[in-house]
């Protein structure tokens, strides 16, 4: 996969890997393949500087469970913007928690040597769900229904360890980018520090799963954020009730 | 000057393990980010920058102090890994080299980012002292690395709330998750495929990593830094 030609082939790579099938997955993460627009934004890394560009279209496809207007939910005195952030985070944590719970309950999927890693991931994601439910109180949303096959694209997600870890890596990196992208919306509230404390745990997860898959734990010296719309576009195939 | 003391200004090798295109992307991002941050520093210039009085480096106040605080930590980490690569420990294998070379290049990139962004407001190069580290010993080196990485994560997590400028917060966010990836990596090198990468010693029952303020962090780095650093105007 090492390409000596700078920059230009990156998007081609993304297009190529988007068509790979489960079992021949050959990249640390699938984030850049889940949504072609997302791929170009990520590879150009312009998202840091032109945040608004290109996000409105993706927002239109956000799952309805997340489209609930914040105006109806002033949980425990939280500002609507904060409620939005917490619900968004809770959705991702529901996804991760159920993903690992299902995997750990699937006999023969996770080799014994890696089981402590995924047990720890499940422990944390379940704790994050409880934490966010507690913070939201009555404004907490119920768990969406998930389709971890990504609408059939990864049918062996719980039968093939490579497929499972590829999606695990993708979800963890997505979580890191999602929390990072929301930090600004929590600035000036006590929840900022809490969100940062979750964010770095997700990054630890992301690195460890990459290592399980035989990769180094990072892409480079700086991790890029993703907007809510970008994250939802990437996660949409796994939200069964979505779009 | 102790035998293991040196300035932190040398630049290490680039991360040979990373695909070239990733490096180029990161380099482009770094350059763009630096220019971006420099623009926003105009606002912060109104605040008092770092000062050097009586040999003590004071970090100053406001966002500039927080950035200099991060710069100090990155100086320490970059100097440490540079020394690790110069004096490989017994049992330094290819996998260790790949990970530690990557981490070193990131810490240098972080250090240079802050140095460039802070410009004339940057604190001077700190004199470091790794005399307590046995560089021939893998457990000593990786144990020290674990301390630095976990501390770095906790420091960034605790510093976010101190930043006023949202662009600085975003930049710190792009660094802290890489520090957390390092922490997990070092911990996994010490205890492969166990729960240690995000162990219960650093992640609590709510699934939260640690968050420490400067007055909690700086005493922990004092044993490794000869230059006196004060953060009198930070919590």
CB pairs under 8 A between A and B: 204
On whether residue B35 sits in a domain, the answer given is yes
On whether residue B234 sits in a domain, the answer given is no
Per the listing, tokens 């770094």 go with: B30
- Check B32 against A183: CB less than 8 A apart: no
Query: What pTM did the predictor assign?
Result: 0.79
A194 inside 8 A of chain B by CB: yes
Per the listing, tokens 């763009």 go with: B32
CA dihedral sign of residues B22, B125, B3, B73:
negative
Residue A187 backbone class (left: φ over 0; alpha: ψ -120 to 50; beta: rest) = beta
- The predicted pLDDT at position A241 comes to 79
On whether residue B20 sits in a domain, the answer given is yes
Note whether B126 and B8 are within 8 A (CB).
yes
Note whether A198 and A110 are within 8 A (CB).
no
Q: What is the pLDDT of residues A124-134, one digit of tens each?
A: 999 999 999 99
On whether residue B122 sits in a domain, the answer given is yes
Residue A59 backbone class (left: φ over 0; alpha: ψ -120 to 50; beta: rest) = alpha
On whether residue B129 sits in a domain, the answer given is yes
On whether residue B98 sits in a domain, the answer given is yes
On whether residue B38 sits in a domain, the answer given is yes
A226 inside 8 A of chain B by CB: no
Q: Which residue of B has its CA nearest to A134?
A: B206
Give the residue numbers spanning the domain of B129.
Answer: 5-229
Return averaged pLDDT per consecutive 10 residues of chain B, 235 residues in all. Answer: 42 40 47 48 50 80 96 98 98 98 98 96 96 98 98 98 96 98 98 98 98 97 94 92
Tokens of A77: 């005195």
B32 inside 8 A of chain A by CB: yes
A225 inside 8 A of chain B by CB: yes
- The predicted pLDDT at position A32 comes to 60
B198 inside 8 A of chain A by CB: yes
CATH classification of the domain holding B37: 1.20.1260.10
A117 inside 8 A of chain B by CB: yes
| Structural domains in chain B (count) | 1
Nearest by CB to B184, which of A6, A198, A217? A217
B156 inside 8 A of chain A by CB: yes
On whether residue B176 sits in a domain, the answer given is yes
Q: Which residue of B has its CA nearest to A119?
A: B195
- Check B208 against A119: CB less than 8 A apart: no
Tokens of B228: 């006196």
Residue A52 has pLDDT above 50, yes or no: no
Residue A65 has pLDDT above 70, yes or no: no
Looking at beta carbons, which residues of chain B come within 8 Å of A94? Answer: none
Residue A46 has pLDDT above 60, yes or no: no
Residue A198 has pLDDT above 90, yes or no: yes
Complex prediction ipTM = 0.82
- Check B179 against A200: CB less than 8 A apart: yes
Q: What is the mean pLDDT of residues A77-106?
A: 96
């Amino acid at each position: 996969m090492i390409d000596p030609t700078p920059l230009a082939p990156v998007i081609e790579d993304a297009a190529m890997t988007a068509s790979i099938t489960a079992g021949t997955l050959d990249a640390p993460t699938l984030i850049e393949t889940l949504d072609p627009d997302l791929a170009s934004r990520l590879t150009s890394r312009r998202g840091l500087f032109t945040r608004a560009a290109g996000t409105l279209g993706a927002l239109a496809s956000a799952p309805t469970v997340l489209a609930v207007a914040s105006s109806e939910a002033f949980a425990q005195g939280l500002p609507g913007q904060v409620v939005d952030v917490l619900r968004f985070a809770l959705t991702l944590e529901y996804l991760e928690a159920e993903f690992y719970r299902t995997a750990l309950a699937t006999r023969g999927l996770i080799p014994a040597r890696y089981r402590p890693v995924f047990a720890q991931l499940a422990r944390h994601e379940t704790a994050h769900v409880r934490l966010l439910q507690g913070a939201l109180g009555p404004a907490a949303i119920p768990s969406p229904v998930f389709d971890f096959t990504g609408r059939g694209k990864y049918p062996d997600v719980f039968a093939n360890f490579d497929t499972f870890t590829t999606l695990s890596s993708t979800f963890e990196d997505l979580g890191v980018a999602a929390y990072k992208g929301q930090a600004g919306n929590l600035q000036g509230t006590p929840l900022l520090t809490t969100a940062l404390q979750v964010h770095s745990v997700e990054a630890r997860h992301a690195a460890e799963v990459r290592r399980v898959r035989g990769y180094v734990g990072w892409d480079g010296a700086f991790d890029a954020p993703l907007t809510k719309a970008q994250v939802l576009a990437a996660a949409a195939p796994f939200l069964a009730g979505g779009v | 000057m102790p035998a293991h003391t040196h300035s932190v200004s040398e630049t290490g090798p680039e991360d040979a393990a990373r695909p070239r295109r990733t490096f180029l992307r990161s380099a482009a991002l770094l350059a763009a980010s630096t220019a971006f941050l420099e623009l926003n520093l105009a606002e912060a210039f109104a605040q008092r920058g770092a000062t050097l009085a009586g040999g003590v480096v004071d970090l100053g106040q406001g966002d500039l102090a927080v950035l200099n605080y991060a710069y100090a930590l990155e100086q320490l980490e970059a100097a440490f890994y540079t020394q690790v690569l110069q004096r490989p420990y017994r049992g330094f294998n290819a996998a260790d080299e790949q990970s530690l070379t990557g981490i070193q290049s990131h810490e240098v990139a972080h250090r240079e980012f802050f140095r460039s962004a802070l410009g004339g407001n940057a604190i001077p190069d700190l004199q470091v002292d790794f005399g307590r580290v046995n560089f021939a010993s893998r457990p000593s080196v990786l144990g020290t690395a674990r301390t630095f990485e976990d501390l770095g994560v906790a420091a960034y997590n605790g510093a976010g709330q101190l930043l006023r400028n949202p662009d600085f917060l975003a930049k710190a966010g792009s660094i802290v998750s890489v520090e957390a990836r390092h922490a997990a990596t070092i911990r996994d090198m010490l205890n492969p495929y166990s729960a240690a990468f995000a162990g219960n010693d650093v992640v609590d029952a709510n699934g939260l990593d640690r968050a420490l303020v400067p007055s909690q962090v700086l005493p922990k780095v004092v044993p490794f830094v000869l230059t006196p650093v004060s953060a009198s105007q930070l919590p």
